[in-house]
């Protein structure tokens, strides 16, 4: 659907904002809200400043609380009355907009309960008679892509309360603000629902991919093969002709070393960290020294991760001759008696390793965890066939996931563009707020 424009526009006086509808005003944030409140953090080493009971004290909002939910109703920490007084912290009413000035820069959330905030957050209490909170939330979201305009170094690292107070705000009439907010509520909800569908599709594809891999490496490709109990809890029944062995009998083990002192953007070596593996090689760090080189057909595995972390026991099969340096908390399993591709599929997030994760403490896999891992191994020809079969299926799944991720990106761009056009008056939605937009 193509949207109409306003009949007449004027220069906003803000270079990057351009023109706005003729009847709109352009003001500064500090002039159109009821309150802008900075926060703070009482001395963390003083117990009396912090409430131990979740039913006592005042909720204290940190950036982490904002990133968990868009309406903040609970916080990890609560401050005592003495803690509030120590920093002269203001208790903000429910409905206050929370604006992140540091980590997750530009993120906006809404207070669902009275609370105070830390120094990384600015509490913005709307003056509803001038600027509605619903409209202002969309405006602040629009500004996220323009935050570089407010930094003296042309980065987003030094945003502060003074600069936020000086943010320009395009101010339509109250009735138009309500119409814009209602229109965007409806349209962004539809887009968000489509994004959620694509995200769920990705989850299902990933689950299906893992299930297919798990079945192939533990049951083989022949559904009619005679089976028997492997004696291994996580593997169950296996083809009768497969052979029981241990990982240390079919591979060598190489422990990674710390390359942090040699991290260098101009370095010739790719530092294989747990993040490199968990992002499928997208998060790249370079280093100037290579203390533990990886070789072609090495299977690199994450040995340490946070509780319930998704990186633990993730593998990366080296299939090229790039200069990889194996970092600490990563190991190389070097196949000597198994097909590398089959073994890479078998070891990736294998239950044998994941059983060490208690969900509470950081998990560190030991050398012994690797050496004593039991494996029921197919003949070499069958290993090769399983590896090729899985490569084909994984490629199909990867293509479908890429398409879904592309769709999500386009929907997110559509969402941002719609918000931008509505809050800057580039489209006139006054007659559309109560109707469906295709």
389 and 345 together in one domain: no
Domain boundary among 321, 352, 375: 375
287 and 149 together in one domain: no
- Residues of the chain with pLDDT > 70, as a percent, come to 97
In a domain, 400, yes or no: yes
Helix axes 340-347 and 174-219, enclosed angle (nearest 10):
120
pTM for the predicted model, two decimal places? 0.83
Name the DSSP class of 279: T
294 and 318 together in one domain: yes
In this structure, what token pair is assigned to residue 23? Answer: 């009847």
Q: How far apart are CA 112 and CA 134, in angstroms?
A: 14
Query: In terms of Cα–Cα distance, which of 122, 108, 46 is closest to 80?
Result: 46
81 and 166 together in one domain: yes
58 and 151 together in one domain: yes
- What pLDDT score does 276 carry? 94
In a domain, 20, yes or no: no
Question: Is residue 1 over pLDDT 70?
Answer: no
368 and 252 together in one domain: yes
Burial class of 375 by CB neighbour count within 10 A (0 to 12, 13 to 18, 19+): buried
pLDDT tens-digit map of 181-195: 999 999 999 999 999
Q: How far apart are CA 201 and CA 397, in angstroms?
A: 11
Band (437; pLDDT cuts 50, 70, 90): very low
120 and 158 together in one domain: yes
- Residues of the chain with pLDDT > 90, as a percent, come to 80
> Roughly how many angstroms between the first and final C-alpha of the chain, as a whole number?
5
Strand-by-strand arrangement of the 33-38 sheet: 33-38, 121-126, 97-100, 108-111, 71-72
Lowest pLDDT segment from 95-104, 259-268, 335-344: 95-104
In a domain, 69, yes or no: yes
- What pLDDT score does 308 carry? 72
The CATH code of the domain that includes 119 is 3.90.220.20
Domain boundary among 347, 375, 403: 375
In a domain, 334, yes or no: yes
In this structure, what token pair is assigned to residue 407? Answer: 């769709």
Q: How far apart are CA 24 and CA 224, in angstroms?
A: 74
pLDDT tens-digit map of 11-49: 999 999 999 999 999 999 999 999 999 999 999 889 999
391 and 437 together in one domain: yes
225 and 256 together in one domain: no
Task: Please list the alpha-helical segments (H only) found in 301-436.
Answer: 340-347, 351-354, 367-371, 380-423
Domain count, the chain: 3
In a domain, 328, yes or no: yes
191 and 279 together in one domain: no
In a domain, 30, yes or no: yes
Q: How far apart are CA 168 and CA 151, in angstroms?
A: 14
Q: Which H or E element spans position 59?
A: strand 58-61
Lowest pLDDT segment from 136-140, 146-150, 197-201: 146-150
- What pLDDT score does 151 carry? 64
In a domain, 339, yes or no: yes
Q: How far apart are CA 61 and CA 21, in angstroms?
A: 37
Task: Please list the alpha-helical segments (H only) found in 220-336.
Answer: 247-250, 274-278
Domain boundary among 171, 187, 202: 171
Question: Is residue 255 over pLDDT 80?
Answer: yes
211 and 106 together in one domain: no
250 and 203 together in one domain: no
In a domain, 399, yes or no: yes
Cβ-contact 152, 72 below 8 angstroms: no
Name the DSSP class of 146: G
- What pLDDT score does 2 carry? 79
Residue 357 belongs to what domain range?
Answer: 243-375
């Amino acid at each position: 659907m193509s949207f109409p424009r306003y009949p007449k526009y004027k220069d906003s006086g803000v270079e990057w904002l351009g023109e706005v509808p003729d009847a709109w005003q352009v003001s500064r944030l500090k002039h159109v809200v009821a309150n802008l409140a900075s926060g703070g953090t009482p001395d963390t080493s003083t117990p009396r400043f912090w409430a131990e009971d979740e039913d006592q004290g005042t909720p204290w909002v940190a950036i982490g609380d904002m990133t968990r939910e868009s309406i903040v109703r609970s916080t990890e920490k609560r401050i005592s009355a003495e803690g509030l007084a120590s920093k002269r912290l203001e208790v903000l009413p429910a409905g206050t907009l929370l604006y992140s000035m540091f980590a997750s820069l530009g993120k906006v959330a809404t207070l669902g309960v009275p609370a105070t905030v830390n120094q990384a957050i600015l509490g913005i209490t709307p003056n509803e008679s001038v600027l509605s909170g619903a409209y202002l939330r969309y405006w602040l979201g629009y500004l996220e892509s323009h935050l570089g305009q407010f930094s003296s170094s042309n980065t987003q690292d030094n945003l502060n309360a003074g600069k936020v107070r000086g943010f320009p705000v395009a101010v339509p009439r109250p009735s138009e603000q309500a119409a814009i907010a209602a229109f965007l509520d409806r349209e962004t909800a539809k887009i968000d629902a489509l994004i959620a569908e694509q995200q769920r599709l990705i989850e299902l594809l990933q689950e299906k991919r893992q299930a297919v891999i798990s079945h192939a490496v533990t049951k083989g490709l022949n559904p009619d093969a005679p089976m028997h109990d492997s004696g291994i809890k996580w593997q169950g029944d296996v083809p009768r002709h497969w052979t029981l062995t241990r990982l240390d009998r079919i591979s060598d083990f190489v422990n990674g070393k710390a390359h942090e002192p040699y991290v260098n953007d101009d370095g010739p070596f790719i530092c294989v960290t747990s993040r490199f593996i968990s992002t499928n090689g997208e998060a790249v760090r370079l280093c100037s020294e290579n203390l533990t080189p990886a070789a072609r057909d090495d299977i690199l595995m994450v040995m340490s991760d946070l509780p319930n972390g998704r990186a633990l026991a993730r593998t990366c099969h080296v299939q090229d001759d790039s200069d990889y340096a194996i970092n600490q908390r990563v190991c190389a399993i070097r196949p000597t008696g198994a097909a590398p591709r089959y073994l890479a599929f078998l070891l990736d997030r294998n239950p044998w390793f994941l059983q060490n994760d208690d969900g509470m403490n950081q998990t560190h896999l030991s050398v012994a965890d690797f050496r004593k891992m039991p494996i029921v191994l197919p003949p070499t020809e069958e290993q090769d066939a399983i590896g090729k079969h899985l490569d084909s299926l994984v490629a199909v799944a990867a293509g479908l996931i890429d398409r879904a991720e592309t769709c999500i990106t386009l929907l997110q761009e559509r969402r941002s563009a719609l918000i931008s056009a509505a809050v800057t008056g580039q489209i006139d939605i006054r007659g559309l707020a109560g109707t469906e937009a295709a």
